[in-house]
Chain A
Amino acid sequence: NAGVTQTPKFQVLKTGQSMTLQCAQDMNHNSMYWYRQDPGMGLRLIYYSASEGTTDKGEVPNGYNVSRLNKREFSLRLESAAPSQTSVYFCASLFGTDNQPQHFGDGTRLSIL
């Protein structure tokens, strides 16, 4: 099913390890987003990219870096994973015109021991 593809779907890391979560969309959307979702906290925006070549911090950017590699791809990197970063991570994309919905990937379930 086309749309937003995230990899991997599951990952277990040790504290201090690094990893990159990958996201790609094939809908020619301009904007892409990374969220994390924790129980009782709802979806919180980590970083977003309103267009190719730009990135901006969201609500909870600390401990993360992002790269908008091209229009299709937006990656999220954890340089030194911490247990507090255990979460479900969602990538989303948006065309960019008014009143258009976001499309989400299936999510990455990340556990940090």
Chain B
Amino acid sequence: RKEVEQDPGPFNVPEGATVAFNCTYSNSASQSFFWYRQDCRKEPKLLMSVYSSGNEDGRFTAQLNRASQYISLLIRDSKLSDSATYLCVVMNQAGTALIFGKGTTLSVSS
């Protein structure tokens, strides 16, 4: 089992739609979790950290289920500018490096 697994998509949705991405991780000792966004031919950029209690940043909501080793990202009221690849990221057990999923591609159309 890969350390971080994501559905690669692509997810094609119309503007205004709600879309959810899921991610699973294999190491139950992982402590830190993130969602990154990567635009075509650009570097990854932090979208949001994921906390055990769940957290929200505007239209974006992240959830963590430690028992199921599952992370989610919900995007409400999708915008054209949300089109990108979303990377699920988990800190390794030693706390020294981040492990990236392969990413889920989102395409929002008008």
> A75 within 8 Å of B by Cβ?
no
Besides A101-B34, A101-B49, A107-B42, 9 more A-B contacts (Cβ < 8 Å) are A33-B98, A42-B101, A43-B44, A50-B96, A101-B36, A102-B44, A104-B44, A106-B42, A107-B43
Shortest Cβ distance from residue A7 to the other chain B in the assembled complex, whole angstroms: 14
A sample of 30 cross-chain residue pairs with beta-carbon separation below 8 angstroms, ordered by A number, consists of A31-B97, A33-B97, A41-B102, A42-B100, A43-B44, A43-B87, A43-B100, A45-B97, A48-B96, A50-B96, A56-B96, A90-B44, A94-B98, A98-B31, A98-B32, A99-B31, A99-B32, A99-B49, A101-B34, A101-B36, A101-B46, A102-B44, A102-B98, A104-B44, A104-B45, A105-B43, A106-B42, A106-B43, A107-B42, A107-B43
Docked complex Cα distance between A28 and B34 (Å)? 22
Contact size class for B? 20 to 34
> A40 within 8 Å of B by Cβ?
yes
> A58 within 8 Å of B by Cβ?
yes
A107 to B, closest residue via Cβ: B43
A98 to B, closest residue via Cβ: B32
Q: Is the CB of A42 within 8 A of B31?
A: no
B32 to A, closest residue via Cβ: A99
Interface centre among A31, A42, A56, A106 (most CB of B within 10 A): A42
Residues from chain A with a CB closer than 8 A to the CB of B44 are 43, 90, 102, 104
Interface centre among A35, A101, A105 (most CB of B within 10 A): A101
Contact size class for A? 20 to 34
Q: For chain A residues 1-52, which have a beta carbon within 8 Å of chain B?
A: 31, 33, 35, 40-43, 45, 48, 50
Q: Is the CB of A90 within 8 A of B43?
A: yes
Docked complex Cα distance between A94 and B99 (Å)? 13
Per-residue 0/1 for A92-103: is the Cβ within 8 Å of any B Cβ (1 yes, 0 no)?
A: 001000110110
Q: For chain B residues 32-80, which have a beta carbon within 8 Å of chain A?
A: 32, 34, 36, 42-46, 49
Residues from chain A with a CB closer than 8 A to the CB of B45 are 104
B51 to A, closest residue via Cβ: A99
